[in-house]
Amino acid sequence: MSVFFDSPISDDAIPEGEAELLLANIGITEGISSAESSEYRQLLAAVHDVAEHVLALPDYATRPNVEKYPRNNIHRPSLEEQTFGNAWAHKFSIRENENDATVVTRALEAGAYIVGTAICENFSGGSTSGGCALVGGGLVDIAIGADQGGSIRVPSSFCGCVGLKPTHGLVPYTGVSSGDTVNDYVGPIARTVRDVALCLDAISGRDDYDDRTLGAPIHGSTTYSKSLQSSVAGMRIGILFEGSEHRSVDPLVKRTQRIAGTLGLMGFAHGRRGLFSTEFESARQPWTNASFRSCSHRPKTR
In a domain, 80, yes or no: yes
- Residue range 12-64, pLDDT digits in tens: 667 777 777 877 777 776 767 777 777 777 777 877 777 888 888 887 776 77
Judge if 53 and 84 occupy the same domain: no
Total domains present in the chain: 3
Burial class (CB in 10 A: 0-12, 13-18, 19+), 13: middle
In a domain, 63, yes or no: no
Judge if 205 and 131 occupy the same domain: yes
User: How far apart are alpha carbons 286 and 277 in whole angstroms?
Assistant: 13
In a domain, 66, yes or no: no
pLDDT value of position 1: 40
Average pLDDT value over all residues in the chain: 79
H or E element that contains 42: helix 34-56
Judge if 75 and 223 occupy the same domain: yes
In a domain, 201, yes or no: yes
CA distances from 234 to 134, 179, 224, 256, 263 (A): 37, 38, 17, 20, 14
Judge if 201 and 138 occupy the same domain: yes
Judge if 11 and 77 occupy the same domain: no
Judge if 221 and 249 occupy the same domain: no
| Pair 196, 144: CB distance under 8 Å | no
User: How far apart are alpha carbons 265 and 281 in whole angstroms?
Assistant: 37
pLDDT value of position 285: 66
Judge if 98 and 82 occupy the same domain: yes
The whole-number average pLDDT for the span 274-283 is 59
- Residue range 57-73, pLDDT digits in tens: 887 776 777 677 676 66
Judge if 190 and 106 occupy the same domain: yes
Domain final residue pick, 191, 207, 227: 227
In a domain, 215, yes or no: yes
Q: Which domain holds residue 41?
A: 1-57
Report the CATH number at residue 110.
Answer: 3.90.1300.10
